[in-house]
Amino acid sequence: MKNKIRVAMLGMGGMGFEHAGNMLKMEDVEIVAMCSATGGGDRFNAEKGLNIPVYSDFDEMLDKVEMDALYVCLPPFAHNGQIEKAAAKKIAVFTEKPIAINVERAESIAKAVRENGVVSMVGYHMRFGGAVKHVRKLMEEGITGRPIMYTAIYECNSLHTPWWIKRELCGGQVFEQVIHLYDMAYYIMGEVDTVAGFVEKLSHEDVPEYTVDDSSAVSLKFKGKAMGSIVGSNCSVPGRWVGRFKIIFENCVAEFGNENNVTITYTKGEVRSETLKFDTPAKLDETRYFIDVLKGEKPEFTPIEDGLMGVRLVDAAVRSSEAGGMPIKF
């Protein structure tokens, strides 16, 4: 690798802006091009006082620009082969979640990355939260004991962008938002054995073209026999996004307000609690980690296969609901 990692951006909406802004803070990264169909690249240049080349055609950018890595920050429906093309050119890929809105598309992406042997990362930023990293360390040290039960809730009340309210474009709330908590379940609890639950559209009848599911209640059984439940709602308090989760371990209970805040209650012997609050910039840290992987300084983490697993889990939740709550085995 050269002294600076050359990164191209695909998609310059909110997430593209945030990731690109974080990379500007890194002396060993150069943003060499941006591809944006909605003017986001031009706005980024204007806001930051830069003159990074902006393309409207991805294939043209891929053909003309020398890059080490591609950041894919597209809406879910817009994933239509760009990652496969980049992987075929041996370009490392960071992609936001979900990597696709159906399993077939996700499998195609993962296969291309796997067969071309390129480095990848999926934007599950909650894994980089200070509280999550702290509890993972306690697990590795054997302090928590086995995980027994996982419960989580994601709630908001937002219409987001025009594409977000359409299930055929975003996959549904479980695909586009609650998937973070499915990833936490997989990351903390281990491999999933069975998924069963219900996903419905229950509200927002007054919103034209609103077809996205806004309520979900799903149960998980893990291969280690632990259990879990994840609920999601887009019918809660407007302007407030909440992603809480709790893990009951053999020796303690960890209650997360989010990825940076946790109260741990130790349940063996004298019961005691501690509340820990971190100010970890999770999205900045995940990009820093990805760049360090590309430089050969750290092992790959949260690769494309984890993105595929996330899609499989939320897809199983939807298929179970469509079958009246029938359990889906992995």
Segment 43-97, tens digit of pLDDT: 999 999 999 999 999 999 999 999 999 999 999 999 999 999 999 999 999 999 9
Note the Cα 224 to chain centre separation in Å. 24
pLDDT over 70, % of the chain: 99
Is residue 158, in this structure, part of any structural domain at all?
Answer: yes
Residue 161 has a pLDDT of: 87
Is residue 306, in this structure, part of any structural domain at all?
Answer: no
Q: Are 197 and 321 part of one and the same domain?
A: yes
Q: What is the CA radius of gyration of the chain?
A: 20
- Per the structure, the complete domain to which residue 11 belongs is given by 5-124+285-301
User: Apex CA 148: angle with CA 131 and CA 311, to 5°?
Assistant: 70
Q: Are 233 and 293 part of one and the same domain?
A: no
Residue 2 above 80 pLDDT? no
CATH classification of the domain holding 192? 3.30.360.10
Q: Are 47 and 133 part of one and the same domain?
A: no
Q: Are 134 and 119 part of one and the same domain?
A: no
User: Apex CA 277: angle with CA 276 and CA 279, to 5°?
Assistant: 145
Q: Are 69 and 158 part of one and the same domain?
A: no
What band does 261 get if pLDDT is binned at 50, 70 and 90? very high
What band does 141 get if pLDDT is binned at 50, 70 and 90? very high
Residue 125 above 90 pLDDT? yes
Q: Are 169 and 239 part of one and the same domain?
A: yes
Q: Are 226 and 297 part of one and the same domain?
A: no
Tally of domains within the chain = 2
CATH classification of the domain holding 88? 3.40.50.720
Q: Are 103 and 15 part of one and the same domain?
A: yes
Q: Are 15 and 62 part of one and the same domain?
A: yes
pLDDT over 90, % of the chain: 96
Is residue 101, in this structure, part of any structural domain at all?
Answer: yes
d(CA 207, CA 201): 12
Q: Are 141 and 270 part of one and the same domain?
A: yes
Is residue 231, in this structure, part of any structural domain at all?
Answer: yes
Closest CA to 97 of 176, 16, 17: 176
Is residue 19, in this structure, part of any structural domain at all?
Answer: yes
User: Apex CA 5: angle with CA 309 and CA 81, to 5°?
Assistant: 40
Task: Find the distance separating the first CA and the last CA of the chain, reported in whole Å.
Answer: 39
Is residue 250, in this structure, part of any structural domain at all?
Answer: yes
Tokens at 223, concatenated: 């291969």
Q: Are 117 and 231 part of one and the same domain?
A: no
Q: What integer best gives the mean pLDDT of the chain? A: 97
Q: Are 203 and 257 part of one and the same domain?
A: yes
d(CA 105, CA 115): 16
Residue 27 above 50 pLDDT? yes
